[in-house]
Amino acid sequence: MTIRRSSCAAVIVIAVLAGTTGCAHRSPGTEPSLGDSTPSPSTSSLSTPSPGASSSSSASATATAIDLMPTVWRVRGAAGEAEATWLRVDGASLQILRPKGAVNLAWSTEGNGMLALLTGWSTSVGDRPSAPWLTTAAAFDRDGDGWLLRDAAGRVTARLVRDGTPPVAKNYFTDAPVVTSWERRRLADVVPGPGVHAVRPQELVGRWGRSDVDPKDASVAFTADGAWSATTRCANGHSGAYRLLESGVLLTVGYATTLVGCQQPPQPVATVADTVTSIDSAGSVRLDGDDLVLYDRGGAPLGALHRLPASS
């Protein structure tokens, strides 16, 4: 199975939170479109699911991403999907198995909340596909021995049921994934860093950079529609989607990229890379005046970014 992505020569590969490999397919010289990975204003990716988005049952309340793994699920009731469509879940990604090929998405979770971003697809699928039932999903709830996917407003976008196996050649994508210790760590709930508290989504919007790095060398931007991007003087653009939860937990997913041409930038490579990859690694954030303090998913500090003036 060939996964379509753009080619890229790597000096330093930026490891994305979602664990994708290679480069996401997009047209050369263009920024990736987040149109099918960012919900419409009525289902903003900055919001958490409404009270109606999660089941009141104790089973749904304790549902976690690891519970989705041992089965390749048949997809029912998803707009635009064929009858013979399955979803495979592992610690790093989601694979939609369609009759003509596979579509790959990066994802991040917290409790039964989720965020997914389309990152690649097999060449047999054709031009860039879409899967709004999955890229707008904000939560998953138990439904008997299956699952419901819901958007940020609580609307069901798809049902996942046990119903046979994908009628395609047996390979890595169609075998049910094995739950390993790495998978459990990767899908474990975030441990918020010290002092993390509720942050209003609008407070995150804007450009940020490190105090010891020229903003022209590296900076990070968050937009109100749930997209983030990192730019450097010497590298390909890095971008993705994010969702800020009320608790201060930050879910991020992104495309793979490289620091091409950064062997001898004005700033040390490690410093530029840290600025760019801090968002990929972040699990929670704390606002301290004009500083955005970042922590990884285990609560360890990653450093701080300072709010930049709009004109910088």
pLDDT at 51 over 80: no
**Residue 24 — very low, low, confident or very high, per pLDDT cuts 50/70/90?**
very low
The CB-side HSE value for 34 (13 A sphere, CA atoms) comes to 26
| pLDDT at residue 238 tops 70 | yes
pLDDT digits (tens, 9 = 90+) for 66-118: 999 888 999 999 999 999 999 999 998 999 999 888 999 999 999 999 999 99
Model pLDDT for residues 182-193, shown as the tens digit of each residue: 888 888 899 999
State the Cα–Cα distance between residues 128 and 83, nearest whole angstrom. Answer: 20
CA–CA distance, 27 with 18 (Å, rounded to integer): 21
Side chain identity, residue 291: D
Q: Does the pLDDT at position 280 exceed 50? A: yes
Burial of 109 (0-12, 13-18, 19+ CB in 10 A): buried
CB 148 within 8 A of CB 141: yes
Mean pLDDT of the chain: 76
Range in 69-78, 219-228, 275-284 with the lowest mean pLDDT: 275-284
Backbone angles phi, psi at 52, to 5 degrees: -75, -5
Residue 2: predicted pLDDT = 45
| Number of alpha carbons in the 13 Å side-chain half-sphere of residue 108 | 29
* Cβ atoms < 10 Å from Cβ of 31: 11
**For every residue of 236-269, which 3-state class applies, written as one string?**
CCEEEEEEECCCCEEEEEECCEECCCCCCCCCCH
Q: Which domains does the chain have, with CATH numbers?
A: 1-31+190-312 (2.40.128), 33-184 (2.40.128)
Per-residue pLDDT tens digits for 129-176: 999 999 999 999 999 999 999 999 999 999 999 987 776 555 556 777
Q: Is residue 240 a contact partner of residue 254, using CB atoms and an 8 Å limit?
A: yes
Rg of the chain, C-alpha, whole Å: 19
